[in-house]
């Protein structure tokens, strides 16, 4: 009994070390507990013999992970927002639906939302980027928010948008999703999570529904 307890520790250390490789933080930054949990889940999916996406996951890392409170009629829940380095996003996009399903099996009772880590440039971008004369359209506030919106609802797609302006001047963005995906991956139950995550990331109110 004693010997088996002793040999577990080195094995756990190796597993944790390998899982840490799935986190790509700024130099010197330590991952939080949730990021370590997500990295561990990714590593387990990658090494699982039954995994259909192990090859795609080999070079995929996360940049950050955080929880977002989601208000629901049946009781509040939490969504986990996982930020992916932009250079890995094209690979993630190809397996987004399958990866979310596998992560939600590992991260119990929480919806998983995957988004790319994007860099936004304000109108004074030349101060910090003296060699850049023109701000790329992809780095503008509007473009980044639109891309985040696409990321949040993946793997389904947006088929329409409408902005409603209230009497007090407040704006609500209505986002219409592809009705063909309504029954897939429990998406209908995730609409409130999409709204909460978008509000957290972009500080804007949006309502999601199927067209």
pLDDT band, very low/low/confident/very high, at 14 (cuts 50, 70, 90): very low
How many separate helices (H) and strands (E) can be counted in the chain?
7, 6
pLDDT in tens, 68-77: 999 887 888 9
Rounded mean pLDDT, 7-18: 50
Percentage, residues of the chain above pLDDT 90: 66
Within 8 A by CB and 6+ apart from 21, the residues are: 39, 43, 61
In the sheet that holds 158-165, the strands lie side by side as 158-165, 171-177, 206-210
DSSP secondary-structure letter at 96? H
Using the predicted structure, report yes or no on whether residue 38 has a pLDDT greater than 60. Answer: yes
Average pLDDT taken over every residue of the chain: 86
Specify the pTM.
0.85
First to last CA, the chain: 60
Using the predicted structure, report yes or no on whether residue 86 has a pLDDT greater than 80. Answer: yes
């Amino acid at each position: 009994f004693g010997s088996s307890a002793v040999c577990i520790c080195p094995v756990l250390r190796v597993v944790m070390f390998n899982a840490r490789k799935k986190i790509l933080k700024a130099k010197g930054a330590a991952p939080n507990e949730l990021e370590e949990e997500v990295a561990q889940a990714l590593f387990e999916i990658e090494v699982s013999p039954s995994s259909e996406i192990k090859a795609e996951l080999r070079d995929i890392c996360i940049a950050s992970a955080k929880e977002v409170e989601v208000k629901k009629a049946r009781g509040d829940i939490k969504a986990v927002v996982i930020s992916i380095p932009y250079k890995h996003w094209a690979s993630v996009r190809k397996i987004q639906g399958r990866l979310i399903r596998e992560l939600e099996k590992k991260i119990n009772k929480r919806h998983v939302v995957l988004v790319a880590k994007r860099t936004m440039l304000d109108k004074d971008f030349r101060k910090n980027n003296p060699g850049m004369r023109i701000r790329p359209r992809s780095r503008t506030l509007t473009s980044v928010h639109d891309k985040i919106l696409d990321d949040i609802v993946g793997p389904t797609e947006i088929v329409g948008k409408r902005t409603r302006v209230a009497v007090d001047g407040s704006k609500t963005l209505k986002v219409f999703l592809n009705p063909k995906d309504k029954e897939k991956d429990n998406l209908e139950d995730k609409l409130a999570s999409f709204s909460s995550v978008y509000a957290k990331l972009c500080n804007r109110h949006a309502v999601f529904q199927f067209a």
